[in-house]
């Protein structure tokens, strides 16, 4: 971070941690149902320790560190099973863990956790930690998808905290989560309320059975819409995605594949039909763009990595002065935006 002559930060160094979740071989044993709880606890702890190592490395070059959506577990929303709701029981433990990590490495840390709010009420929640380990604020995911193998409505209650930037020592963070990135209204409100950057912890990928052309269309659409939010609001955007193949654990066919093949990233054996291994191939491509949508940094689609970027916060005003979209909005004619549909 660098300060200008008014004592305000004008440059912000950030790090996006793009990770893969890898299962251990216990899951594929015939007795897994009797050991499911210990399996989940062990895998969650292993992921947390790996993420902590990455945060330690990232802290050498950044004061704002961003993690992907639901980073302590596999993406369990590929099926609707109440056993995965048990993950939410670890919410307070995870908050305590990442609070200590933020303090130890002196970073502002954006996490994405499964929150148990009450019996039967659970949220997909971003918890932001200040550099001293205190909680700067929370955001609960507002838009909840229900698509094939993205069955989040089964698990998550829609958020009720609104679109409110979170004040931190490095700026006002407009934290949203994954599916929120397809809705321009969320980005607009966060920006209008004074966010310095839009941040999207994400878990998005494609199915191997789809064509390469479809993969390309999906990836480009995902990036373009977020760069569009940057342009329309004159604000930097950071999007942090998972990477690697994660099986649909409810599919029995997946148990017949060798463990080494199950855990590979973009390396499924040619002798196995893609259609017989059901799951999501998270395509990475985490990126940071500036307030004109210009790409500042971009990650790969096939490996774990820490992506660094330096953001010039003073460019927000400079860009909005030459592209005054906020000034020229015609709010008196936007009543239809509050309707489900208007013909």
| Residues 144-157: tens digit of each pLDDT | 999 999 999 999 99
State mean pLDDT over 133-147. Answer: 97
Cβ–Cβ < 8 Å for 239, 287 = yes
DSSP state of 13: E
Q: Are strands 135-140 and 237-240 parallel, antiparallel or unpaired?
A: unpaired
Report how far residue 192's alpha carbon sits from residue 175's, in angstroms, rounded to the nearest whole number.
14
Cβ–Cβ < 8 Å for 286, 296 = no
With respect to residue 262, please indicate whether it lies within any of the assigned structural domains.
no
**Domain that includes residue 74, residue range:** 11-24+36-249+274-324
Under the banding of pLDDT at 50, 70 and 90, the label for residue 263 is: very low
Burial classification of residue 332, based on how many CB atoms lie within 10 Å of its CB (0-12 exposed, 13-18 middle, 19 or more buried): exposed
pLDDT over 70 (residue 266): no
Catalytic residue among 63, 116, 138, 141: 141
With respect to residue 337, please indicate whether it lies within any of the assigned structural domains.
no
Catalytic residue among 19, 48, 63, 69: 69
Q: Which pair of tokens denotes residue 160?
A: 């009720």
Among this protein's residues, is 289 annotated catalytic? no
Among this protein's residues, is 141 annotated catalytic? yes
Q: Which residue has the tokens 């916060």?
A: 313
With respect to residue 259, please indicate whether it lies within any of the assigned structural domains.
no
With respect to residue 284, please indicate whether it lies within any of the assigned structural domains.
yes
Report how far residue 45's alpha carbon sits from residue 91's, in angstroms, rounded to the nearest whole number.
13
With respect to residue 98, please indicate whether it lies within any of the assigned structural domains.
yes
Length of the chain: 343
Catalytic residue among 130, 178, 262, 304: 178
pLDDT over 60 (residue 98): yes
Predicted confidence (pLDDT) per residue in 70-85, tens digit: 999 999 999 999 999 9
**What domain count does the chain have?**
1
Among this protein's residues, is 262 annotated catalytic? no
With respect to residue 343, please indicate whether it lies within any of the assigned structural domains.
no
More confident residue, 265 or 67: 67
pLDDT over 80 (residue 5): no
Q: Which residue has the tokens 């998005």?
A: 204
With respect to residue 3, please indicate whether it lies within any of the assigned structural domains.
no
Under the banding of pLDDT at 50, 70 and 90, the label for residue 22 is: confident
With respect to residue 5, please indicate whether it lies within any of the assigned structural domains.
no
Q: Which pair of tokens denotes residue 120?
A: 């039967």
Report the CATH number that the domain containing residue 183 is assigned in CATH. 3.60.110.10
pLDDT over 50 (residue 271): no
């Amino acid at each position: 971070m660098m300060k200008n002559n008014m004592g305000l930060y004008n440059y912000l160094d950030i790090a996006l941690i793009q990770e893969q979740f890898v299962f251990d071989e216990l899951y594929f044993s015939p007795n897994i149902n009797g050991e499911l709880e210990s399996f989940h606890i062990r895998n969650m702890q292993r992921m947390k320790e790996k993420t902590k190592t990455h945060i330690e490395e990232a802290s050498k070059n950044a004061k704002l560190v961003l993690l992907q959506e639901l980073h302590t577990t596999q993406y369990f929303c590929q099926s609707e099973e109440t056993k995965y709701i048990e993950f939410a029981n670890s919410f307070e433990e995870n908050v305590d863990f990442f609070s200590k990590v933020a303090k130890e490495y002196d970073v502002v840390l954006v996490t994405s956790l499964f929150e148990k709010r009450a019996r039967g009420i659970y949220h997909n929640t971003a918890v932001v930690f200040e550099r001293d380990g205190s909680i700067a604020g929370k955001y609960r995911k507002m838009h909840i998808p229900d698509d094939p193998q993205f069955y989040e409505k089964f698990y998550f209650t829609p958020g009720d905290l609104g679109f409110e930037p979170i004040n931190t020592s490095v700026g006002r963070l407009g934290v949203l989560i994954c599916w929120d990135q397809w809705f321009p209204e969320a980005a607009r409100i966060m920006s209008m309320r004074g966010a310095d950057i839009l941040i999207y912890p994400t878990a998005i990928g494609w199915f191997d059975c789809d064509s390469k052309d479809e993969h390309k269309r999906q990836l480009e659409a995902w990036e373009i819409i977020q760069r569009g939010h940057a342009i329309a609001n004159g604000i930097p955007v950071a999007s942090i995605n998972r990477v690697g193949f994660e099986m649909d654990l409810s599919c029995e066919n997946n148990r017949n594949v060798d463990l080494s093949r199950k855990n590979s990233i973009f390396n499924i054996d040619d002798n196995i039909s893609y259609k017989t291994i059901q799951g999501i191939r998270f395509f990475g491509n985490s990126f940071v763009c500036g307030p004109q949508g210009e790409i500042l940094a971009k990650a790969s689609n096939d490996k774990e990595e820490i992506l660094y970027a330096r953001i010039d916060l003073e460019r927000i005003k400079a860009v909005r002065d030459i592209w005054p979209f906020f000034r020229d909005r015609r709010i008196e004619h936007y009543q239809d935006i509050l309707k489900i549909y208007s013909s």
